[in-house]
Amino acid sequence: MHEQMTWTGKVEARLAQGQKTGLQLKKGDVISVVASGYVRFGTLENQWADPASAIPTHVHDGYDHKLVALIGDDETHYPIGTGVLNWIVPSDGELTFLFVDTPNWYVDNSGAFDVTVIKQKQVIVSFVN
């Protein structure tokens, strides 16, 4: 069976449950992620965000408006922003990406981030005396 090592896709801002990737991760795996693009999280002219945060002119409403990762059933939001390099995965499960917005307000969101994930091959090095 061939293990999936990469995923490239769009993470739509309107998906309240996030975008599943199909990548099954194990604690200790190493991944790198690159994300780009802009999304709208409302209908006002200043309600725009990139993967790292809302534009500075937006009045903060208590939500981070950024791209995060979820792994399996763990509800922890792991910050991704515009990307992470050589991130050691903290738990087992399928990788899902989510744009954080105010609960129950995803319906007025639009746009998507372009995201690429690479699951790096682990190299085991042993030293012989």
| Count of structural domains within the chain | 1
Q: Which amino acid is at 69?
A: A
Examine residue 125 and state whether it is found in any structural domain, yes or no. Answer: no
Q: Is residue 71 part of a domain?
A: yes
pLDDT of residue 55: 82
Contact yes or no for 30/124 (Cβ under 8 A): no
Q: What is the DSSP letter of 94?
A: E
CATH number at residue 116: 2.60.120.430
Domain annotation covers residue 126:
no
Q: Is residue 69 part of a domain?
A: yes
Token pair listed for 57: 């002119």
pLDDT of residue 62: 66
What is the C-alpha separation between 118 and 104, in angstroms, rounded? 31
Q: In degrees to the nearest 10, what's the CA dihedral of 36, 41, 46, 48?
A: 0
Q: What is the pLDDT of residue 128?
A: 73
Task: Give the pLDDT score at 5.
Answer: 93
- Can you give the pLDDT at residue 4? 77
pLDDT computed for residue 93 by the predictor: 97
Q: Is residue 127 part of a domain?
A: no
pLDDT for the residue 126: 66
pLDDT in tens for each of the 129 residues of the chain? 457 799 999 999 999 999 999 999 999 999 999 999 999 998 888 889 999 998 876 656 667 899 999 999 989 999 999 999 999 999 999 999 999 998 889 999 999 999 999 999 766 666 776
Q: Is residue 1 part of a domain?
A: no
Asked whether residue 62 is assigned to any structural domain, the reply reads: yes
Domain residues for 67? Answer: 6-95+104-120
pTM for this predicted structure: 0.89
Q: Which residues pair with 70 in a beta bridge?
A: 96
